[in-house]
């Protein structure tokens, strides 16, 4: 390849990566908005499980083990204050586990830092956190 062709190809690859990163960020944003909407319509629930979105966690976990899929357990410690925990579950397990089972699974998979954050978030007074201005 000539230098000019190499530069053009490198530019193409970079634009593809930027486009992929933008798409990935948008997918994560949609999942996060979905979590917020779900908790808003289920005010008595503080935990849910859903299929994980590719790249939603800081760490790349790669493919789930054979016969399993990556899921996200989303814990709302206070209204609007949520944590997500990745977990690989067998494909035959539906996303309809009880809150008690989900919390036990979350705590089993969560590291010490996450457990500490949960403890601190539960102590925050939700009324001290300003509500976002409504659009409209």
Q: Give the chain's mean pLDDT.
A: 80
- Neighbouring CB atoms inside 10 A of 28's CB total 16
Q: Does this model's pTM top 0.75? A: no
What digits encode the pLDDT tens for the residues 86-115? 999 999 999 999 999 999 999 898 888 877
**Residue bearing the bigger pLDDT, 77 or 33:** 33
Q: 92, exposed or middle or buried, with CB in 10 Å at 0-12, 13-18, 19+?
A: exposed
pLDDT value at residue 7: 58
* Structure token pair of residue 75: 């814990």
DSSP helix/strand/coil, 105: helix
Express each pLDDT in 34-57 by its tens digit: 999 999 999 999 999 999 988 888
Which own/partner pairs from 47-52 qualify as long-range (CB within 8 Å, at least 24 positions apart)? Answer: 47/73, 47/74, 47/75, 47/76, 47/99, 47/102, 47/103, 47/106, 48/73, 48/74, 48/102, 49/73, 49/74, 49/95, 49/97, 49/102, 50/74, 50/95, 51/95, 52/86
For 48, counting Cβ atoms within 10 Å of its Cβ (0-12 exposed, 13-18 middle, 19+ buried), the class is buried
Phi, psi torsion values for 74, nearest 5 degrees:
-110, 120
């Amino acid at each position: 390849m000539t230098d000019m062709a190499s530069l053009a190809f490198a530019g193409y690859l970079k634009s593809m990566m930027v486009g992929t990163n933008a798409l990935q960020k948008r997918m994560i944003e949609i999942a996060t908005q979905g979590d917020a909407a779900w908790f808003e319509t289920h005010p008595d629930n503080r935990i849910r499980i859903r299929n994980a979105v590719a790249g939603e966690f800081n760490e790349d976990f790669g493919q789930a083990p054979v016969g399993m899929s990556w899921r996200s357990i989303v814990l709302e410690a206070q209204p609007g204050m949520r944590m997500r925990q990745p977990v690989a579950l067998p494909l035959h397990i539906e996303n309809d586990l009880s809150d008690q089972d989900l919390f036990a699974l979350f705590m089993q998979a969560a590291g010490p830092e996450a457990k500490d954050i949960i403890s601190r978030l539960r102590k925050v007074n939700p009324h001290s956190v300003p509500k976002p201005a409504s659009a409209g």
